[in-house]
Amino acid sequence: MKPQKAIVIGSGVAGLASSIRLTIQGYETHVYESYDKPGGKLNELTLGSYRFDTGPSLFTLPSLIKELYELCGQSFEDQFPFERLETTCRYHYEDGTQFNAHAERSMFAKELQQVAQPQEIEAFFKHLDRAEFRYSRMAPIFLDRSLHRWKNYANRETLQGIGSIPRLNLFSDMNSENKKQLGNPYLVQYFNRFATYNGSDPFQAPALLNMIPHLEHNIGTFFPKNGMYQIAQSLYDLALSQGVQFHFNTRIEEILHEPSRVYAVRTRQSDKPILADLVVSNADIHSTYQQLMPKAKAPKRLLKQEKSSSGLVFYWGVKQRFPKLQLHNIFFSQDYQAEFQGLFETGEIYEDPTVYVHISSKCNPNDAPPDGENWFVMINVPNTKKAAKPLDIPMMRGLILAKLSRMLGIDMEPLIECESYLDPETLEKRTSSYAGALYGNASNNRFAAFLRHKNYSSDFKGLYFCGGSVHPGGGIPLCLQSAKIVADLVAQREQRN
C-alpha cells in the first residue's frame, strides 16, 4: 500500500526534526525550502578565510538530538562529535569587572569572589538549585507536550507541578525575584540576562523563566566540533538517510484547504497542486496564516501578541587573537533597565547596548586563520513593528566598536579584515520571521506559555505547526521539542489507512 504523504514547509531545526519523525512513522515526507540549503536561522557564512555560524550560537540539551539518532537506529556519538564547555561564558561589566562562568561549581564560586561576598555566592548557587527544581516540575507540563490537549494533564507530572505552585513564585517578575534572592547587582544582572534567551524583558517576564539557567549551568553548554551549523547539517543528513526528500529554492505560495481539511500546497514554481495527507508548517505563524492561508480564519488575538526582540549581528573577521576571550562573551550595558525599556517600550536603542561576542574559532580553529578570530557580534534591537525609527546600521556599528574598544582596551576598527551583517529586515525577508522577531512572541507576562499558537489546527485536519513561533517557543531545544510534539499529535490525531 502506498504510504501517506507529508509535506513540511521550511527546513529549520524544527522542520528537519519533524521530517525525520514523520518518516519514521511511515509517511513519505517532502520538505520544501525557499533557501538554497537547510537550517533556517541556523545557517553559515564564509568571508574569505573566515567561517561564521549566522544564527543561534548556544547549544544545550544535546540529548534531544541524540534521541533522533536513536530513533533512526544510528550512533549519535560516532556521527555527531561535540564537547562540553569548561567555561560557559565570560562576562564584562562597565566598571572593569570581569569573570568567567565555569561549568564546575567550585571553580565558578572562586571566580565569583571578585564580585560577591560568601553569603551572596551561596545565594547564587541556591538560585541555580531553584532553577533546577522549577525545570523539573514545569518542563514535563509546559515544554514536553501539547498544552492544548486536556488528556495531557492527567498524569503524575501535572500533579507534582500543581503541588509545587507555592514554591514557583508565579506572580513575580524575573528582576524582582533576582533582586530579592541575590541583592548583589552583578549577580542580578547576570541572572536577568537569561530573559534574552527567548527575546523577553526581565523587568516584565515572569520569575518562572528563572528556570532557564538550569540548562546552561546544571546540565551544561556544548559545542559541536564543526560549529553550530553542524546541527542543521547533521539533521539534514539524518533525514536523507531515512528517505526524506528535499526541494530547495522552492517557495510554498499557498496551503490549499477544504472547509475542514488541508489537502495540498502550491509552489511559486508551479500552479499545479502538490497533494498531501498532512502539512507541517515550520514557517512563522504569521506567514502561515497571512501569506499561505489568506482565506482561512486567523487567530487574531494570538497574532497580535507582543513580539520578541530582534537582533543586529555583525560578522567580523578579526586579524588578531584575544586569549582571554572565550567562545561566549558578554559585555554588559551600564543601565540594563534603560536598555530593555528601549527594546519593549519606546522602541529606541539605548546608547550603551549589551554586546554579545561569539568566537567559534576558539573551539574550531578551522573557522579562522591562525592569527585571527571570527567574531559573531550581536546586540538586541527592537523588532521592526516596535522600532521607533529605521535602524541606523553605521551608527550602531560605531556604538558597538566604541564599547568593545573601551572595554578591551584596544582599537577594534583597524583589526576588522572583512565583515557582513544581518539586520531585522533582512532576517524577516530571509526566514519569514514576522517583524524580524527572533523568538516569535515575547514572554513578558505570566501567561506567556499559554499565548503561543498550539501545534495543530482546530479548524483544519491534517495541519500542524512547529518552530520558534509556536508552542513551546524559540531556541534550538524548544524547536526540537515542538517537532516531537507534532509527531506525537500526528500519531494521536491522524486516522491512518
Amino acid making up residue 271: D
3-state class (DSSP) for residue 130: helix
pLDDT at 298 over 90: no
For residues 417 and 372, is the Cβ–Cβ distance under 8 A?
yes
User: How long a stretch of residues is the chain?
Assistant: 497
User: Domain spans of the chain?
Assistant: 5-44+56-81+226-305+434-493, 120-219
Strand segments, DSSP code E, in 319-462 are: 328-331, 355-358, 373-381, 416-422
Amino acid making up residue 208: L
Confidence band for 24, pLDDT divided at 50, 70 and 90: very high
Confidence band for 169, pLDDT divided at 50, 70 and 90: low
Segment 111-131 shows an average pLDDT of: 95
Q: Which residue has the cell 495541519?
A: 463
Segment 177-206 shows an average pLDDT of: 95
Q: Which residue has the cell 515572569?
A: 206
Q: How far apart are CA 60 and CA 63, in angstroms?
A: 9
Confidence band for 136, pLDDT divided at 50, 70 and 90: confident
Q: How far apart are CA 195 and CA 438, in angstroms?
A: 13
Strand segments, DSSP code E, in 82-159 are: 82-84, 87-92, 98-102
Q: Which of 6, 4, 9 is nearest to 293 (CA)?
A: 9
Give the pLDDT score at 462. Answer: 96
Confidence band for 139, pLDDT divided at 50, 70 and 90: confident
Confidence band for 167, pLDDT divided at 50, 70 and 90: low
Q: Which of residues 240 and 144 earns the better pLDDT score?
A: 240
Segment 79-85 shows an average pLDDT of: 96
Q: What percent of the chain has pLDDT over 70?
A: 92
Query: By CB neighbour count within 10 A (0-12 exposed, 13-18 middle, 19+ buried), where does 220 fall?
Result: middle
Give the pLDDT score at 32. Answer: 97
For residues 136 and 211, is the Cβ–Cβ distance under 8 A?
no
Segment 486-492 shows an average pLDDT of: 94
Q: DSSP labels for 454-472?
A: PSB-SSSBTEEE-STTBTT
| 315-364 per-position pLDDT tens digit | 999 999 999 999 999 999 999 999 999 999 999 999 999 999 999 999 99
pTM: 0.93
| 425-467 per-position pLDDT tens digit | 999 999 989 999 999 888 888 766 566 889 999 999 999 999 9
Q: Which of residues 310 and 448 earns the better pLDDT score?
A: 310
Angle (deg, nearest 10), helices 13-24 and 63-71: 30
Confidence band for 144, pLDDT divided at 50, 70 and 90: low
Q: Is the dihedral of CA 194, 196, 198, 202 positive or negative?
A: positive
CA dihedral 448, 454, 458, 459 (to 10 degrees): 90
Q: How many Cα neighbours within 13 Å face the side chain of 432? A: 26
Q: How far apart are CA 154 and CA 110, in angstroms?
A: 45
Give the pLDDT score at 158. Answer: 46
Give the pLDDT score at 150. Answer: 41
Confidence band for 406, pLDDT divided at 50, 70 and 90: very high
3-state class (DSSP) for residue 497: coil
- Report residue 95 as a C-alpha cell: 566598571
pLDDT at 163 over 50: no
Q: Where is 411: in which H helix or E strand? A: none
- Report residue 175 as a C-alpha cell: 528582576
Distance of alpha carbon 130 from its chain centroid, rounded?
Answer: 23
Q: Which of 130-144, 280-294, 381-395 has the lowest mean pLDDT?
A: 130-144
CATH class assigned to 5-44+56-81+226-305+434-493: alpha beta
